Structure 1
Amino acid sequence: MVQSLSYAPLVSRAVIALGGADWRDYLHNLISQNVETLAVDEIRFGALLTPQGKVLYDLFLIGREDGCWLDVAAEHRDVILQRLMIYRLRAKVTIAPDEAEVAVLFGQGEAPGEGWLADPRLPELGWRGYSLPAPLGAAEGDEADYAAFARSLGVPGPADWGIEQTYPIEANFDLLNGIDFKKGCFVGQETTSRMKRRGTVKTRFLPIAFEGEAPAPGAEVLAGDLRAGAVLSGADGLAMASLRLDRIEGADLTVDGRPVRVVRPGWFERALNP
């Protein structure tokens, strides 16, 4: 566990700026997060889904005086821009790439100064900042450090849910403040709301612990002879996995013949059993 605040630029992330008279209504009808109530300098987590309800792209939404920023995966920014343009129709909205640089502060330490925004998913994840220098005294980190830190907290990332592969509830978006179920319609809302309402979520992302190096992504998690899930991203000793909740309870789990155990983060248990 990191014992002091670390600063890491996230070159894997990029920013899109939205503005214009209709930006709020336009975006509110597209993404899983509430945009109507977003305040200036507030950050929220959400996703753009397929019409069938699977995760296309995760995003962080940052309120600005004249619109908002979307913090998205850098490798998909151009595609996201194109998709946003398709949905724009006659709405009075400006959509353009922005040069703001994304960074994170994470670990153990006091809240940083002005401009840093507490991660809306989980307080323990730290803060996100945009074109901000490292605070005095912060250790130098990198994306791998941050990914390992998030994984240690049991929080999945884009490498785990992919594109058009996962329902957001399976990736715990509902437990990490990524879906507003009271906001009304958005793309993919019908499937998402039905899964939540019927309580039919059989699969969740959870960490698994083991000895040695991480199994390859896609390796089967077995409960005896039954498939109980699959490995997602990971590193030595710990990986994220997509797991069948009805098959892991009390079971002896293996991956490639090696024993593994499920790690249930405290936030996960509290969110499921408030």
Structure 2
Amino acid sequence: MSHPHWQTFLQHQSAEPSLQHPTNAAPDLLHATALVSLDDRVVLEVRGPDSEKFLQGQTSASTAHATSTIAPPTVFCTPKGRAIANAQLIKAAPECYWLLLERSIADALHQHLAKYAAFYKAELTLRDDLTIAGIAGQHTLETLGAQIPELPQAGWGVRVRVDEELAITRHPHDMTRLILIAPEERLATLCQTMSAELTLAPATLWQRLDIEAGLLWLDELQREKWLPQMFNWEALAGISFKKGCYTGQEVVARAHYRGQVKKRLMRLSMSGDQAPAAGTEVSDAASDKGLGEVVSSAPAGNDHVELLAVLTLKDDMPALAINGQPAHMLPLPYALERLDPETLLD
């Protein structure tokens, strides 16, 4: 993967004294508009006359929900209902869908879908030629709106320019944040026009924003470990219980209707500046009994770290510890209940 135009632009930005920012910190998003190069994301393209029919039998979202204005979250499962990868489903063009997902898990999803795609007129391609960046801040819409009109106004909204292979999608958070997907020269040119208003920020900023939004993007370490509800995907409008069959649907639906999901994605904080690695155990502080594991973490300033962990919930949750240090539960920005993706179309 080589994106010389994009790298040249980033190098130029980092050379500007007014745009430099400490790599271990993040800008004040109330006053600055942050630009983050999302090298850990990639697009898996599904293209062909049967692309919609093929995806309808594989994804938890209905392809009917992927429109010119909505790009719904989705998940792909094994027949046993275990999540292989979660993604955002973008209708990039007629007979063409983009799956935006975590790069480390893309090959596994590609191989999984290829087993089924062989029976359809649909081709799968990892689009390494596309570059992905995030823009976040209080003035994001104002900054980008001067260049691209009709930007998405709500979470999971999308704006697609088919002729340019440019997609702009909005991800959930109280702070406005957009993901831009385009060929690297097009993206570099677009960001260059806004360069005076952009401040480069580290990838940990975007990870922190995902954590604050209670949003986990599965990576290779987490592949096939959980049912989608265990990382709250149905609370983020990521599962349609009305669309009909898809691979793993029976298990996912049974767990929902029988109330069998005992593990949940929770948001935590702890003191210090060292973010615990994914897979680190979260335990009962008193008994040291394991209750779950860290799945994502990032420094949050003021000498503390925020993280997401999949935990076994109890009626009376004990005090928690990570690596012997106290960890404290934080509220999620959404209710732990089913949010039908059909509501995105309202």
Instruction: Please give the range of the TM-score, normalised by the shorter of the 2 chains.
Output: 0.7 to 0.9
- More moved, 69-78 vs 188-197: 69-78
Match of 2:286 in 1: 224
- Give the Cα separation in 2 of the matches to 1:262 and 1:162: 22
Matched-pair contact (CA < 8 Å) for 1:223–1:247: no
Per-residue Cα deviation, 1:187-206 (whole angstroms, up to 9, x for no partner): 11111111111122211111
Match of 2:42 in 1: 14
- More moved, 79-88 vs 189-198: 79-88
Match of 2:308 in 1: 240
Per the TM alignment, residue 119 of structure 1 is displaced from its structure 2 partner at its CA by: 4.3
Match of 1:260 in 2: 327
Per the TM alignment, residue 25 of structure 1 is displaced from its structure 2 partner at its CA by: 1.0
Per the TM alignment, residue 179 of structure 1 is displaced from its structure 2 partner at its CA by: 1.1
- Give the Cα separation in 2 of the matches to 1:90 and 1:238: 44
Residue 68, structure 1, aligned to residue 136, structure 2: no
Q: Which amino acid aligns with 1:224?
A: A
- Give the Cα separation in 2 of the matches to 1:219 and 1:177: 28
Per the TM alignment, residue 222 of structure 1 is displaced from its structure 2 partner at its CA by: 0.7
Matched-pair contact (CA < 8 Å) for 1:39–1:63: yes
Per the TM alignment, residue 18 of structure 1 is displaced from its structure 2 partner at its CA by: 2.1
Residue 93, structure 1, aligned to residue 116, structure 2: no
Match of 2:109 among 66, 77, 80: 80
- Give the Cα separation in 2 of the matches to 1:221 and 1:162: 19
Match of 1:184 in 2: 244
- Give the Cα separation in 2 of the matches to 1:269 and 1:189: 20
The 1:256/1:19 distance shift into structure 2, 3 A limit, reads closer
Per the TM alignment, residue 27 of structure 1 is displaced from its structure 2 partner at its CA by: 0.5
The 1:42/1:161 distance shift into structure 2, 3 A limit, reads farther
Match of 1:128 in 2: 179
What 5-or-longer segments of structure 2 have no aligned partner?
A: 1-27, 157-170, 300-304, 340-346
What 5-or-longer segments of structure 1 have no aligned partner?
A: none
The 1:93/1:157 distance shift into structure 2, 3 A limit, reads closer
Per the TM alignment, residue 186 of structure 1 is displaced from its structure 2 partner at its CA by: 0.8
Per-residue Cα deviation, 1:11-47 (whole angstroms, up to 9, x for no partner): 1122222222211011011011111342135312111
Q: Which amino acid aligns with 2:111?
A: Q
Per the TM alignment, residue 171 of structure 1 is displaced from its structure 2 partner at its CA by: 0.5
Match of 1:2 among 17, 26, 29: 29
Match of 1:46 in 2: 74
Per the TM alignment, residue 156 of structure 1 is displaced from its structure 2 partner at its CA by: 2.4
What is the aligned length? 271
Match of 1:204 in 2: 264
Segments of 4+ in structure 1 off by > 6 A? Answer: none
Matched-pair contact (CA < 8 Å) for 1:119–1:128: no
- More moved, 212-221 vs 82-91: 212-221
* Larger Rg belongs to: 2
Q: Output the TM-score relative to the length of structure 2.
A: 0.70
Structural RMSD (CA): 2.6
| Amino-acid identity (%) | 23
Matched-pair contact (CA < 8 Å) for 1:230–1:241: yes
- More moved, 90-99 vs 177-186: 90-99
- Give the Cα separation in 2 of the matches to 1:160 and 1:85: 18
Paired residue secondary structure (2:139): coil
Paired residue secondary structure (1:266): coil
Matched-pair contact (CA < 8 Å) for 2:284–2:290: yes
- More moved, 230-239 vs 168-177: 230-239
